[in-house]
């Protein structure tokens, strides 16, 4: 048993969608959430710049004795997970768009993926699609403005709904019956996306529950789950300072 905390990192508050699932599945685990906030969003920034931001945050989490770190950010996973695994001697769990379950369950043979421009344009996404979606049509759309809307707590404004309509329309027009949420900010828009879809046969797929299961499996394999009697501590950190960290805490408390 090991009562050291699990670290969860994201460019901002989107990774709280993953934090929420880990908290549900492993309620006795202490969690330290680091939401950059200062440099968010990452999707349009150069990879080398993003790796620097991530590395600084990861060193902070390691200084807090985290036993495992979740990169609750698709862009961070794409740009930095190989470097982090080669540099630091602890497990890292990364994100990837849930193309595999979408391709396995589609009835129209067409799946949609909503993600950042950086993720969709990466070799990593191309390899993922080729590996898991052979024979299935994959249509993609950038969630323009989605991250900014979530960061500003503006998920339910008319302007955000228009952004969602613009992004989702080509996926529906192509006949996608599974839509993958390929950025951890996007689940905070799930109810708006579902309203726009207005079709129960079209399912949204969020990879966060699978990430929580992966964390549990890794810790159980190493005998490093927290004791059942452990009283967890929940800490929120940010490169943007105490005000943003408090914003993260309030949002997490409301989940």
Residues known to be catalytic: 73, 183
Task: Assess contact for 142 and 97: CB atoms under 8 A.
Answer: no
Integer-rounded Cα Rg, in Å, for the chain is 18
Q: Is 74 one of the annotated binding-site residues?
A: yes
The answer to whether the annotation marks 2 as part of a ligand binding site is no
Angle at the Cα of 104 (from 98 to 106), degrees rounded to 5? 95
Q: Give, in degrees to the nearest 5, the angle at Cα 76 between 71 and 79.
A: 130
106 is in an annotated binding site: no
Token pair for residue 115?
Answer: 């993600």
Q: Does 75 count as an annotated binding residue?
A: yes
Q: How far apart are CA 128 and CA 185, in angstroms?
A: 20
Element spanning 142, H or E: strand 137-142
Query: Is there a binding annotation on residue 30?
Result: no
Determine whether the annotation assigns residue 184 to a binding site.
Answer: yes
- List the binding residues for substrate: 10-11, 42-43, 74-75, 184-185
- List the binding residues: 10-11, 42-43, 74-75, 184-185
């Amino acid at each position: 048993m090991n009562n050291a905390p699990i670290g969860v990192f994201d460019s901002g508050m989107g990774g709280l969608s993953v934090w929420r699932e880990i908290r549900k599945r492993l309620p006795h685990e202490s969690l330290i959430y680091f939401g950059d906030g200062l440099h968010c969003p990452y999707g349009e920034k150069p990879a080398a710049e993003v790796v620097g931001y991530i590395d600084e945050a990861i060193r902070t989490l390691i200084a807090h004795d985290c036993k495992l770190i979740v990169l609750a950010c698709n862009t961070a996973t794409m740009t930095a997970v190989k470097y982090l695994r080669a540099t630091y001697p602890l497990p890292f769990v990364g994100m990837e768009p849930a193309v595999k379950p979408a391709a396995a369950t589609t009835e129209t043979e067409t799946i949609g993926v909503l993600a950042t421009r950086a993720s969709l344009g990466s070799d990593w996404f191309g390899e993922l699609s080729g590996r898991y979606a052979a024979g299935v049509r994959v249509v993609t759309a950038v969630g323009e403005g989605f991250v900014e809307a979530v960061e500003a707590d503006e998920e339910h404004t008319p302007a955000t709904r228009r952004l969602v309509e613009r992004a989702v329309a080509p996926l529906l027009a192509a006949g996608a019956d599974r839509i993958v949420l390929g950025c951890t900010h996007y689940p905070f828009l799930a109810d708006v996306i579902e309203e726009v879809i207005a079709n129960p046969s079209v399912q949204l797929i969020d990879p966060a529950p699978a990430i929580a299961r992966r964390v549990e499996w890794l810790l159980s394999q190493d005998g490093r789950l927290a004791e059942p009697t452990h009283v967890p501590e929940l800490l929120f950190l940010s490169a943007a300072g105490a005000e943003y960290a408090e914003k993260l805490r309030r949002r997490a408390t409301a989940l």
